[in-house]
Structure 1
């Protein structure tokens, strides 16, 4: 498959074949392990747990859908704020410090996405042929 074909949406049967291949081996598990390790190593998981506890104990959020909505919104907000701040400062990544007194910085660390992408590519390389067109 060429890179231009890969940029188009994959047909359902091809995507399903890739998922089946990843699920039949250790591909999905390896990707999960990589992401889990990176989130643990950067402190993201500990901060996420503390934020969920805060939602339950302090803010009185009572249902799983409410927690998920608040967590998703916070991750998106904090990650975008970190990107904007880093772009303005000419810096890449997240330094792990809280911003503006917020005790729960849920900006997704750059290493999580970088290492996650590497893991996905490594596992995809095992189940399909990925080639890039030279320009």
Structure 2
């Protein structure tokens, strides 16, 4: 295991310098930190239905002809995630269409709260393994 990265709580709350950021990335990559965070996010996105909804949205974009390349689809997906994430969650989460074809707006790509919470929790655990934060007094 790599030597812990020492910093004060003030340093931890401020924007990290590029050197400090690189040290953190290296420490997380040298162990299982990054893989654990990715695994948690992947599991939570699958369990919440986000990945299925994302796949359905991309399929819709390509089949409808709204996008004809990977780059176009990626741009549309990223824009939709940003847009949907800024809106309040829909109360019932139902995407029913009463028999008519879905429109691109019928897909909700807001990242579920449980994904964000679990990802942040796992990241915190992994950072505690590689960081030693001293509380300012």
So what's the TM-score if we normalise by structure 2? 0.80
Q: 1:39 aligns with which of 29, 45, 63?
A: 45
- Residue 90 of structure 1 is matched in structure 2 by none
Gaps of 5+ in 1: 86-93
- Tell which structure's C-alpha radius of gyration is larger: 2
Distance in 2 between residues matched to 1:12 and 1:99, nearest whole Å: 47
State the secondary structure of the residue aligned to 1:129: strand
Shift of 1:62: 1.5
Gaps of 5+ in 2: 1-6
1:96 aligns with 2:99: no
State the secondary structure of the residue aligned to 1:111: helix
1:12 aligns with 2:18: yes
So what's the TM-score if we normalise by structure 1? 0.81
Q: 2:71 aligns with which of 52, 65, 68?
A: 65
1:110 aligns with 2:113: yes
Higher strand proportion: 2
Q: Over aligned residue pairs, what C-alpha RMSD do you find?
A: 2.4
State the secondary structure of the residue aligned to 2:67: coil
8 Å CA contact 1:18, 1:127 repeated in 2:
yes
